[in-house]
């Protein structure tokens, strides 16, 4: 039975001594997840296609060692669409770590955009036909869905190896309350766009993220026999290189003033804050009684935009 001090936030959401991997972890939502984990004591390996971005994220966002013990460590570079790259970083990591506790599959692309505004079928065909290609669709699906599957599969042995390992949980009054087993998990980053019927001009992206949502449910059901949980965060409007088209010298992005308000369908009338992604990551990382769930962190958009 839990005593009151067992509900101390530092006990509930500490990931001290966790070993984590975040794909696309140098910018955007991946960097937000990385910061949340490292700030709460985790050793976080980040991977992506650009070595310079990985090094820059570690340089600017690693926490003070004497305060949390967390670390941000570049791993790669790696193109998650390539099985040989995935196996290479798994092999590289296996030389340093015996297991990992958390995998965050975040890498993704936006895909082509074509606004379906026309009411004449011939005009609509021209807009969609001329502004999208089969190659664009294939790249979007490869990055946003296929790579999530193969990344997860690649890391399954390292995730399962964490089972049976234990850590000391410290209660809110400073004493060690009990020994708790690690329970490994995967967090996929889908999108509110995969939960709505509005195409937003991104048929391929929204279709891919819808597939990521279902893939998450499939993996959660099939991989629970390995004692590995799989959940998904479906973000709304958060600043990233994908949504804002750029980042600053610290790999951080921002929206122009009024951009989110102009959409007309965000009840909170603002973009999401970095910390709000961090809260969702820690919830899925620590709550072992949650499996196969999709958490929309969207400012209420799905309350006013048609969903599935």
Active site residue 205: yes
Helix residue ranges, H only, 224-287: 241-244, 259-263, 274-286
What CA–CA distance (Å, rounded) separates 181 from 300? 36
Active site residue 209: yes
With a CB cutoff of 8 Å and minimum separation 6, the contacts of 235 are: 29, 189, 191, 192, 272, 277, 297, 298
What CA–CA distance (Å, rounded) separates 206 from 88? 30
What CA–CA distance (Å, rounded) separates 131 from 112? 7
Of 99, 205, 220, 286, the catalytic one is: 205
Active site residue 253: no
Of 177, 185, 209, 220, the catalytic one is: 209
* Max CA distance (Å), the chain: 71
Of 190, 204, 232, 253, the catalytic one is: 190
Kindly report the CA angle at 228 between 22 and 235, in degrees rounded to 5? 45
**Residues that are catalytic:** 190, 205, 209
């Amino acid at each position: 039975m839990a005593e009151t001090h067992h509900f101390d936030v530092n006990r509930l959401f500490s990931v001290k001594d966790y070993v984590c991997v975040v794909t696309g972890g140098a910018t955007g939502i991946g960097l937000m997840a990385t910061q949340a984990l490292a700030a709460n004591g985790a050793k976080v390996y980040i991977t992506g296609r650009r070595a310079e971005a990985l090094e820059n994220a570690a340089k600017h966002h690693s926490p003070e060692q004497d305060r949390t013990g967390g670390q941000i460590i570049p791993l790669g570079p790696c193109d998650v669409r390539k099985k040989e790259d995935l196996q290479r970083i798994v092999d590289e990591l296996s030389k340093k770590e015996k297991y990992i506790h958390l995998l965050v599959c975040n890498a993704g692309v936006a895909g082509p955009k074509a606004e379906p505004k026309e009411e004449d079928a011939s005009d609509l065909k021209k807009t969609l036909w001329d502004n999208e290609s089969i190659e664009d669709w294939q790249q979007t699906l490869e990055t946003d869905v296929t790579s999530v599957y193969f990344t997860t599969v690649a890391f399954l042995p390292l995730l399962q190896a964490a089972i049976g390992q234990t850590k000391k949980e410290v209660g809110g009054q400073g004493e060690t309350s009990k020994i708790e087993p690690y329970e490994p998990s995967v967090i996929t980053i889908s999108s509110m766009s995969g939960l709505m019927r509005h195409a937003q001009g991104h048929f391929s992206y929204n279709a891919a993220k819808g597939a990521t949502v279902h893939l998450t449910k499939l993996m959660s059901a099939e991989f629970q026999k390995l004692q590995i949980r799989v959940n998904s965060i479906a973000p709304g409007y958060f600043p990233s290189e994908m949504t804002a088209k750029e980042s600053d010298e610290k790999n951080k992005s921002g929206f122009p003033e009024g951009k989110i308000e102009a959409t007309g369908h965000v009840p909170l009338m603002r973009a999401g804050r970095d910390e709000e992604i961090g809260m969702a990551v820690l919830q899925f990382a620590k709550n072992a009684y949650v499996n196969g769930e999709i958490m929309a962190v969207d400012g209420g958009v799905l309350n006013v935009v048609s969903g599935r």
